[in-house]
Amino acid sequence: MNSEAQIKALILSLRSLRKETRRIFYYQAAKQQLTETWVIALGALTTKNPSSLEELAHALRLGNSTTSGIVDRMVTEGLITKERDPLNKRKINIRPTAKGQQKYAATYADFWEKLAPVSEIDGAELTALLATQTELLKKLAGIKQ
């Protein structure tokens, strides 16, 4: 059985891992004059193009009004476009521009390049770590509020 100290150390280690990957990601996004949220939005729009405001808000896990403000700022920066759907005048289609797509691709390429040293970890160790993390996530997801 795992000790309470081991579980605490694991949780804190995962938190530190997330913090470090976010730090690296934030820096790569900033090099492209993007925010983390903008990169995530561009990624969501790249996989579902066009997207509605509601779909983008869901992908970002934000409310519609917050997402609307983000969309307006991204339009101003020339990263995305928004236009009325010709088949449904109440729906606004949001699409990444060529500039947005280029900045998104550059951010992710730089991010994964920075993470290249992680590939030096033995594959079997990574497989075991992933299995353990997957089991931990299942346990945490089962905890009722």
Tens-of-pLDDT digits for all 145 residues of the chain?
A: 568 898 899 889 999 999 999 999 999 999 999 999 999 999 999 988 778 999 999 999 999 999 999 999 999 999 999 998 888 888 889 999 999 999 999 999 999 999 999 999 999 999 999 999 999 899 889 998 7
Helix, strand or coil, per DSSP, at residue 92: strand
Whole-model pTM: value is 0.81
Q: For position 92, what pLDDT does the model report?
A: 86
The CATH architecture of the domain made up of 4-120 is Orthogonal Bundle (1.10)
List the beta bridge partners of residue 125.
none
Q: Using an 8 Å Cβ cutoff, are 90 and 67 in contact?
A: no
| Distance between CA atoms of residues 43 and 39, nearest Å | 6
List the beta bridge partners of residue 124.
none
| Distance between CA atoms of residues 33 and 41, nearest Å | 14
